Chain A
Amino acid sequence: MAIEVRVPTVLRTHTGGEKRITGDGATLQELIDDLERRNSGLKPAIVGGDGQLHRFINLYVNDEDVRFLGGIATPLEDGDSVSILPAVAGG
């Protein structure tokens, strides 16, 4: 089971500068926990203390925003691709 994850510039300090990393997991939650084991510091940048996705982080599975799927419980399959993009917002 391999899921490819695209990491934005701002989070590459947690991946040794890597733009693409791979992880495992049957759900997005499991994938994030797996990534955290490999790249310490990534999880707190994505998930809050309440276990939910940060308000200003967008996660996509196969180009669909997971807020329109199952959120952090979205199931994953081998070969899926996940993208992380910080929101672009301001006043």
Chain B
Amino acid sequence: MEIIQILQYSFIQKAFIAGSFVAIACATLGIFLVLRKMSLIGDGLSHVSFGAIALGLFFGFYPFYIAVPLVALASIAILKISEKARVYGDAAIGIVSAVGIAGGVILASLSKGFNVDLFGYLFGNILAISASEAVLSVILSFVVISVVAFFYWDLFSATFDEEYAKTTGVKTNFINALLTVLTAITVVLSVKVVGIMLVSALLILPAITALQVSKNFKTALVLGGLFALFSVLLGIILSYILDLPAGATIVMLNALFFALAFVWKKIG
């Protein structure tokens, strides 16, 4: 089957457009998260999105409308628990993540009707993305990327050396909260692309691949975005041609890019 023919399908076009924006948003945030040793926040928040989507299905709302604000609130809860309850960040992620999963399982058990829909979100399917979901993904991803661009220097400074950043007037508490909320929004959008189980891969893998080969911070951000973009575009085409699940194909391509970058760095 010719690539040109594949690209003419409207579901492929929607997947390309939405997947590209979400992938770039993921990689951009992923660079900051990996360098701050917060990689697993994506995993935790994706588990919360499981509970939030279950809540939406339970009450008959469009799941993403519930998931975006709820997961954003959960991200703030992670920050507050680690600040106020003197709990380490990874433990705070564990608490919120477990509550999200447990809530989702209870709601699934109570409803006895939407289990198929809910478990469909576990592995995602970008090829089944609707026009409205594609538009929402593009708009929110654009907002995330624009906010990161606006606060780029503050984010960079606070990630490199938080204490020094404070001495230059950077409001690091605000920057930390901003990064966490942007991550929450992006995680929810990524659920449709790769599914709840693989969201953290989309945040981590393009970022660590870029970090292998970058000689400065801006290059790392650009390369991370490019690796994520190519993995999504190529993953969608391959998954269609080979009849494989799109999310898992995208993640495996990202893992391959990382392995190649690692080898290139070692021999380069």
> Do A and B assemble together?
no
